[in-house]
Structure 1
């Protein structure tokens, strides 16, 4: 007899470990994604080092952060609209082409030793725009590769890939820099983008391979109007609204602004060699995210639910607040590891919930709106953590910023 006839709800099926990896297409996407993300980080390592040596300009360093995140704020929805209107594989390839152009431009100016500040700024803008053309279409493609049942696994594994690239990219970038020098090294870096470009040429995913009933209508790309209409469209989807607000608050108040302040935290904690202490703090945040992916995926844990994402975000803010005020190095290191673990957990879950609840004909724009909040609003985290830190100290500025993000998560949690 069916359990529903007795009023007993049948148990939910257990989540499988590393479910997305069972798809050959996802395995190919994951491996090429890791290489491209690593190349992105390698470029940062080499270009930032040369730019710092040449200009010694804190203002240019600040511009590098703004140019990286501002395009996500301005163009994420437009990128999603492009991925709806055209084949997302080709949009991603355009993004990879911009990454390669940026690396080759750096290589030219490093070879000729003719780099000027305005040229460095222009290349940084090209690099930022490349990221926008990559992220939203890539997230749309995940849905086509694995389907809704295993989307959470795919999103979480892709997030884990980013942390893996953050760990591996600087190490590989430093090795390439030492072995080949900045000009040849950054030219060599273009090779790491090619596997993704080549795989996408014939990867059997995207609009051409969807069933007719699942194909979204092709609509014109309307720029700013797409942002306004998408905001109107999601009003009837409380899960999407809450996840966009949750991710947006985390990015606006905290983002990754504390990473640029890590040398100050390492110096203030006064534990051994400052360089080693700094490197370990940076690695702890990335290792926490990587560990989260391995544990949660390996155990098939934490099915996506809005309240679970909000609780994880609350815990993340708490971990960062404790880290910011810790006066013991190992305590700070442990809570930074926990923060990385919790950040991957709630961000991946929020993104999955948005994708699963997004209307088919607006999925690209809705994912773009989420990226505008979760990535684009990081542009302003330098104000809440960095600028405020210059007035009251970075420990208190990060602590108060983390508490502000926690307050938003708490309000969302108690709202009906």
Structure 2
């Protein structure tokens, strides 16, 4: 396998991401895949409810989270070893085939909950490699100076998929039941595959390694990172002590071969890289605290708050819509501006402001005030999340980006959802006010960490 060492020189700024056809093809593929995901979960929940009891349906919906959380670190290694483009294309192809197979079976028979549970497990396993690869792919589609704008565009795609996917899933169920909805989800995911194949990859410039001793990035001929442990030592052959020692028969002994990199070694190298990085390590702690304090109140906590205040389903819908509008506005701002000055400090300040708004949400007098506070939460939390995501992209060396994304994803998708049942139980014991305030304190600690670590506080996005 031919390998070349990517030089550390920065690449020249290219076309703005929102005007780059290559980036737009990637964005179209990502959006189609995300809409397909939303339709899939609507179809899965409806099919599970129709096939079993509510508790069984809840188990089917939750079962995909287990392999996703357990295998995501390994998924980051896979993304870095084989290249994020290959992994994303392969993952979407597998997901498409699985969903369309289940749709075909549902058209002709009623296989029951076991098939739905199996499909959920398959989705969880594939997501464990898909999500780290998705996080690592933008660095190979555009330049570092455009990664912040791409992060904003990605946030807009997620909001659009959330808004469009649920009605499309409901329409599919209304027209032909779960089978039609599954078929629609499979076709939407299938759209992403040819778009991804048409996306051109580029050699990513190494990220800013503040405090991290980053090894040279070894790439295959197609730009895919090779084994990190296989970097040949640079030896000055003219130096007298650089000669290869003679063997017992007087002939020159064969040079010592570098240890072959294994998946386990790659995983340890990735964790060591994060731990030794002066920006990434505190940044992931900040993301973890923000998610842990945010997920519970804004999901299960909001439903309990609306019920206790008598806002009804319509009032809760308005609050959720306001939050989504605020988060969308934050993503639009980053997509439009492309960067923000003092990104580390701005993200920390936004996280602190959002945490105060979360605590205040439990004490607002009515729906109108709750809508205003939710709008502020969405704007501030969305801005903080977008800036943290952009810093994660721009501070990471591309050779490690899959593993970095996997660690951050485990926090967001594995640990943070565990706070939802704890939040519901705590509200039952102490009420909404103390729990929302406690969650706000946890969220605010993320901002304190970001402001307290000098390198993260001073971190900037490329211009």
TM-score (ref. length: structure 1)? 0.84
Query: Relative to structure 1, is the Cα distance of residues 51 and 216 closer, same or farther in structure 2, using a 3 angstrom cutoff?
Result: closer
Q: CA deviation at 1:214?
A: 8.0
Distance in structure 2 (CA, Å) of the matches to 1:38 and 1:29: 14
Cα-to-partner distance string for 1:162-194 (whole Å, 9 max, x where unaligned): 111111111222222223322122212211112
Task: Quote how far apart the aligned CAs of 1:349 are.
Answer: 1.3
TM-score in terms of structure 2 length: 0.76
- Output the CA distance in 1 between the equivalents of 2:30 and 2:342: 23
| Pair 323,262 (structure 1): closer, same or farther in 2 beyond 3 Å | same
Mean Cα displacement is larger for which, 406-415 or 106-115?
106-115
Distance of aligned partners of 1:111 and 1:195 in 2 relative to their CA distance in 1, 3 Å threshold: closer
Which of 308, 325, 346 matches 1:268? 308
Instruction: Give the superposition deviation at 1:42.
Output: 1.2
1:126 aligns with 2:135: no
Residue 403 and residue 46 in structure 1: after superposition, are their counterparts in 2 closer, same or farther (change >3 A)?
A: same
Alpha-carbon spacing, 1:181–1:262, altered in 2? closer, same or farther (3 Å): farther
Q: 1:222-272 CA deviation, whole Å, 9 max, x = no partner?
A: 55665544232223322101110011112234336632454433333324x
2:213 corresponds to: none
More helix by share: 1
Paired residues, number: 398
Of 296, 316, 322, the match for 1:278 = 316
1:244 match:
284
Deviation sequence 1:43-63 (CA, Å, 0-9, x none): 112221332344342464266
Q: Unaligned stretches of 5+ in structure 1?
A: 1-14
Q: Distance in 1 between matches of 2:182 and 2:451?
A: 46
User: Rg bigger for which structure?
Assistant: 2
2:149–2:337 Cα contact (<8 Å) kept: no
1:312 aligns with 2:350: yes
Alpha-carbon deviations, 1:182-228, whole Å to 9, x = none?
Answer: 21222122111122111222422167998989874424785566554
SS of aligned partner of 2:200:
coil
Q: 2:363 aligns with which of 320, 325, 328?
A: 325
Q: Which runs of 5+ in 2 are unaligned?
A: 1-12, 206-218, 229-259, 455-463
Deviation at 1:295, TM superposition (A): 3.1
Aligned equivalents of 2:52 and 2:432: distance in 1? 25
Quick check: 1:218 aligned with 2:227?
yes
In structure 1, C-alpha distance between the alignment counterparts of 2:55 and 2:409, rounded to whole Å: 27
Aligned Cα root-mean-square deviation (Å): 3.2
CA change 1:243–1:130 in 2 (3 A) is same
The alpha-carbon deviation at position 286 of structure 1 amounts to 2.0
